[in-house]
């Protein structure tokens, strides 16, 4: 399969082919795409790209030392045919965006598309599945966690939330400042691209290019508003300082968990219970009503006080007469 004397016997061994497939599955291997094949998500690539990578790897590729290099396309095609025969890769057709279908022809062809069936060592996958199940049960049992673990999770969650908020705000602020002068500057431009993996979302670090045509009036309007706000903030130090102090109090209450009412959980638990005042609350209401009556009496004039006392006496006499009858 290769021009040197070691390669023909080397790639005839299935275990060595598995080593080659493990390398091709890494980030150093050829670029693949994701699609659905019989309702299962798989990665696929074109046969020509696989042969090109095996015959002439891209510059900077770290080829494993224990794998012989291919010195001709014929050697690479022969290995690809062997991968098809062992069903490490499966030929398929593209039906639409993100969809593949099976074909009868299982032979390798550079013009065809091939889905990876070989998944390599499943130890890490089993470990992640077990970790997911254990993590799920830990979340379910959150109520019986120790207090220090609950506090740790709360602080970690709030810190992560604030970090994401400040990261988004900083990216937008830097973009706005540079956009006003006529350039688009994004830090981690692919940060929120759902089609990329975790590490690929942070590549490249910076994207810098001139703005498109027809944005001059918009940039002028936004620039006037932005610098007007900055001037107001500088000339109004007392209000701005109050705003900064309010944000500090907000962060303090957020970490301490004081943004939600302490009675909210109690009210939720006692939603079906009848709401009746206790004896202590009734006595407090009675004392408050007596104090209110005394205050009203103090505000009355002497004549009004006499009239009020006379009316009270008349009411008491009427009550006595009714009782005698």
Domain boundary pick from 120, 154, 183 = 120
Residue 105's SS3 state is: coil
The pair phi, psi for residue 261, each rounded to 5°, is: -65, 140
d(CA 36, CA 94): 10
The number of domains in the chain is 2
Same domain as 173, residue 111: no
Question: Is 61 among the domain residues?
Answer: yes
Nearest by Cα to 53 from 34, 16, 27, 91: 27
Distances (CA, A) of 253 to 79, 150, 247, 249, 325: 64, 17, 10, 6, 68
Helix residue ranges, H only, 32-145 = 47-55, 73-85, 123-140
Q: What is the pLDDT of residue 229?
A: 82
- Report yes or no: 41 and 35 within 8 Å, Cβ to Cβ: yes
Provide the domain limits for residue 84.
9-120
Question: Is 228 among the domain residues?
Answer: yes
- Residues whose CB falls within 8 Å of the CB of residue 201, separated by 6 or more in sequence, listed in order: 188, 190, 191, 192, 193
Same domain as 178, residue 101: no
Supply 177's token pair: 């400042």
Question: Is 221 among the domain residues?
Answer: yes
d(CA 44, CA 51): 14
Same domain as 181, residue 115: no
Same domain as 98, residue 172: no
Question: Is 286 among the domain residues?
Answer: no
d(CA 159, CA 161): 5
Mean pLDDT computed over 201-230: 83
Mean pLDDT computed over 14-41: 86
Across 101-123, b (16+ Cβ under 10 Å) vs e yields eeeeeeebeeebbbbbebeeeee
Same domain as 168, residue 96: no
The full length of the chain comes to 325
Question: Is 322 among the domain residues?
Answer: no
46 pairs with which residues across the strands?
113
pLDDT at residue 172 tops 50: yes
Residue 193's SS3 state is: coil
Give the pTM: 0.43
Per-residue pLDDT tens over the stretch 286-302: 777 776 666 665 555 56
Residue 215: count other Cβ atoms within 10 Å of its Cβ.
13
Domain boundary pick from 85, 120, 155 = 120
Per-residue pLDDT tens over the stretch 238-248: 666 676 777 77
Q: What is the pLDDT of residue 4?
A: 44
To the nearest whole number, what is the mean pLDDT of the chain?
Answer: 78
Residue 31 burial (10 A CB sphere; 0-12, 13-18, 19+)? exposed
Cis? peptide before 204, omega within 30° of 0? yes
Enumerate long-range contacts of 227-230, CB under 8 Å, 24 or more apart: none
Q: What is the pLDDT of residue 254?
A: 73
**Angle of CA points 238, 242, 243, to nearest 5°:** 120
Per-residue pLDDT tens over the stretch 102-144: 888 888 888 888 998 888 777 877 888 899 899 888 888 877 8
């Amino acid at each position: 399969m290769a021009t040197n004397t070691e390669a023909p016997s080397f790639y005839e061994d299935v275990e060595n082919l598995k080593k080659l497939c493990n390398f091709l599955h890494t980030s150093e291997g050829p670029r693949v795409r994701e699609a659905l094949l019989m309702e299962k998500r798989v990665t696929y690539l074109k046969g020509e790209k696989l042969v090109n990578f095996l015959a002439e790897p891209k510059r900077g590729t770290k080829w494993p030392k224990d794998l012989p290099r291919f010195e001709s396309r014929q050697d690479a095609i022969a290995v690809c045919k062997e991968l098809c025969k062992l069903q490490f890769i499966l030929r398929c057709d593209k039906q639409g965006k993100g969809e593949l279908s099976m074909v009868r022809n299982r032979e390798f062809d550079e013009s065809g598309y091939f889905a990876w069936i070989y998944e390599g060592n499943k130890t890490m996958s089993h470990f992640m599945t077990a970790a997911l199940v254990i993590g799920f049960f830990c979340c379910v049992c959150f109520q019986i966690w120790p207090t220090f673990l609950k506090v740790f999770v709360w602080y970690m969650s709030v810190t992560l939330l604030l970090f994401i908020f400040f990261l988004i705000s900083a990216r937008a602020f830097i973009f706005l400042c540079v956009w006003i002068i006529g350039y688009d500057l994004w830090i981690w431009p692919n940060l929120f691209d759902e089609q990329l993996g975790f590490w690929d979302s942070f590549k490249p670090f910076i994207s810098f290019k001139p703005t498109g045509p027809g944005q001059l009036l918009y940039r002028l309007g936004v620039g006037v508003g932005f610098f007007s706000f900055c001037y107001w903030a500088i000339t109004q130090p007392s209000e701005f300082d109050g705003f900064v102090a309010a944000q500090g109090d907000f962060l303090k209450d957020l970490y301490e968990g004081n943004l939600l009412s302490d009675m909210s959980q109690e009210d939720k638990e006692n939603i079906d219970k009848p709401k009746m005042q206790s004896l202590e609350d009734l006595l407090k209401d009675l004392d408050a009503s007596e104090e209110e009556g005394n205050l009203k009496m103090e505000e009355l004039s002497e004549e009004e006080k006499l009239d009020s006392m006379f009316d009270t006496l008349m009411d008491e006499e009427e009550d006595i007469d009714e009782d005698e009858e």
